[in-house]
Amino acid sequence: MELTKKPHHVAIIMDGNGRWAEKKRKLHLEGHRQGAESVKAVIRAAGEAGIEYLTLYAFSTENWSRSKEEVNGLMELLEEFIDDNIETVIEKGIKLKIIGRIEKFPESLVKKLQIAMQKTAKNSKGTLILALNYGGRAEICDAAKNIAREAVAGNLNPEQIDETLFSRYLYEPEIPDPDLMIRTSGESRLSNFLLWQLSYSELYITPTLWPDFGRDEFFEALSEFNNRKRRYGGRK
């Protein structure tokens, strides 16, 4: 597929694991396990397409409300994913970054995530960002708290605060805003994902459940992006 323009940064809300499992009369955790296979397929597809940044919404701040069994299973699945794929990520030259309040995760998982980020820190062939215990409102609140601390300490004049300055206090300010946001399962909402960064992103909604989403669906989204005109509020 020839793309005359492609997004630098693609963000994905990976939705539908539970519904996929229910349709097949399986446990939700089996849906998450199959969803992990889709993650691998999309990472490969993003590399094939030359996407520089890929952000995946893997665990939200709201996901703690799920059953203890499902949450514990997700924690174990995340550890398995890191164990099974970190060497491949290193070989492919991908840098791993995490956004979210991961300090609330089990210590063993936090340690593995930190080691994985350290091992890939010098890679430069693409960046994979996992949103873990992430919420867009939480990120904005954390940024506001840090700005307030700077102001109270006398290091920042509140009159200097504008959108550019505020952006510097977000979790990964050096990463450009997503050009394209993909949401699977047909739901048409942001679900507290990258609320600041998605202001001018193109949105692509597909009814495909995440465990059934793969290379072909990813390239279909890129093709749709390729055909859109981004006006940013202008009339051109």
Residues identified as active-site: 15, 63
- Inter-residue contact 136 to 170 (CB < 8 Å): no
- Residue carrying structure tokens 């970054």: 97
Q: Is 42 helix (H, G, I), strand (E, B) or coil?
A: helix
- Inter-residue contact 16 to 210 (CB < 8 Å): yes
- Residue carrying structure tokens 């960046």: 127
| CA-closest candidate to residue 8, choices 129, 162, 138 | 129
- Residue carrying structure tokens 């990964």: 172
- Inter-residue contact 51 to 179 (CB < 8 Å): no
Alpha helix segments (H runs only) across 121-205: 136-152, 163-167
